[in-house]
Amino acid sequence: MILLFTDFGSAGPYTGQLQAVLHQQAPGIRVINLFSDAPAYNPTAAASLLSAFSSSTPPGSIFLCVVDPGVGSDARMPIVLYTGGRWYVGPDNGLFGLLGTDGADTACWEIHWRPQQLSNTFHGRDLFAPVAAALAQGERPQKPHYQRRCMPRVSEDSLSPQLIYLDHYGNAWTSVRAEYLRPDTRLRVAGQVFGYARNYAEVAKGTCFWYQNSSGLVELAINQGNAGRRYNLRVGLRLEIIAAA
């Protein structure tokens, strides 16, 4: 299957245009809109989300990823990445830097192929979607359309604990894997301290807390409240981890 991971949002034609290209060039392949509201223009935050979501998909999955503020420029190369048994197609701007690319089966290629018509601003539709469709049809990177290269770019900011996503409940996802924290660890962001709870039922209504969400990340929330609005949270805010006594 092909999974779409973009910052396009739910409105507008962009996701539909990707789906139309994939339907035409890879008929019969299932296309799933996995994530359409990744943090806009922010491949650093999106990298943590992509890493968390990709591990739960079956081997052979193909990710078509478009969080690409540098589209049309020489600031990033279009690439294909294979790691963990999965394929990733998109821009080399830090988006793929947290995918655990140190495995023996990992390989990366620059995409040198160009379609006859390539928009200056929509490489997702014109370049990345046809490449993802070709992979889904069984084609593999080969010369002269691809060139083997080193691993994807890693943004240093992506390694810092930070907020990476706010959902429509106002819950704030962080870049921190919950498995690395003890339950008595406290977290501070925007001047507010969050203690741990396993779920919403363990705290009173209106109480803030952190927990391990279904993707394995630390998430900040308020029981039946909007943490983002109450504490003025936003993507990119740094998270302080307060060690337990």
Same domain? For 73 and 172 the reply is no
Same domain? For 145 and 171 the reply is no
Same domain? For 141 and 167 the reply is no
Same domain? For 165 and 146 the reply is no
CA distance 207 to 192: 12
Same domain? For 46 and 148 the reply is yes
- Cα-Cα-Cα-Cα torsion 87, 93, 99, 102, nearest 10 degrees, comes to 100
Same domain? For 66 and 141 the reply is yes
Measured in degrees and rounded to the nearest 5, phi and psi for residue 61 equal -65, 150
Answer with the one of 133, 155, 177 that is the final residue of a domain: 155
Number of domains in the chain: 2
Q: Hey, is 154 helix, strand or coil?
A: coil
H/E run at residue 20 = helix 14-25
Q: Which residues pair with 79 in a beta bridge?
A: 90, 110
Q: Which of 214, 213, 216, 215 is nearest to 227 (CA)?
A: 213
Same domain? For 227 and 204 the reply is yes
Measured in degrees and rounded to the nearest 5, phi and psi for residue 238 equal -75, 145
Answer with the one of 97, 128, 155 that is the final residue of a domain: 155
CATH number for 228: 2.40.30.90
pTM: 0.93
CA distance 170 to 120: 35
Please give the pLDDT value at position 244. Answer: 67
Same domain? For 168 and 211 the reply is yes
Please give the pLDDT value at position 200. Answer: 96
CA distance 43 to 156: 12
| Domain residue limits at 21 | 2-155
Answer with the one of 121, 155, 189 that is the final residue of a domain: 155
AA identity, residue 8? F
Same domain? For 142 and 168 the reply is no
CATH number for 93: 3.40.50.10790
- Angle between helix 129-136 and 14-25 (nearest 10): 40
Same domain? For 72 and 170 the reply is no
Same domain? For 128 and 33 the reply is yes
Give, for all 245 residues of the chain, the pLDDT tens digit: 999 999 999 899 999 999 999 999 999 999 999 999 999 999 999 999 999 999 889 999 999 999 999 998 988 999 999 999 999 999 999 999 999 766 778 999 999 999 999 999 999 999 999 999 999 999 999 989 999 987 888 887 777 899 999 999 999 999 999 999 999 999 999 999 999 999 999 999 999 999 999 999 999 999 999 999 999 999 999 999 997 65
Same domain? For 141 and 173 the reply is no
Q: For the residues of 107-127, what is the DSSP string, one character each? A: EEEEE----SS--SS-HIIII
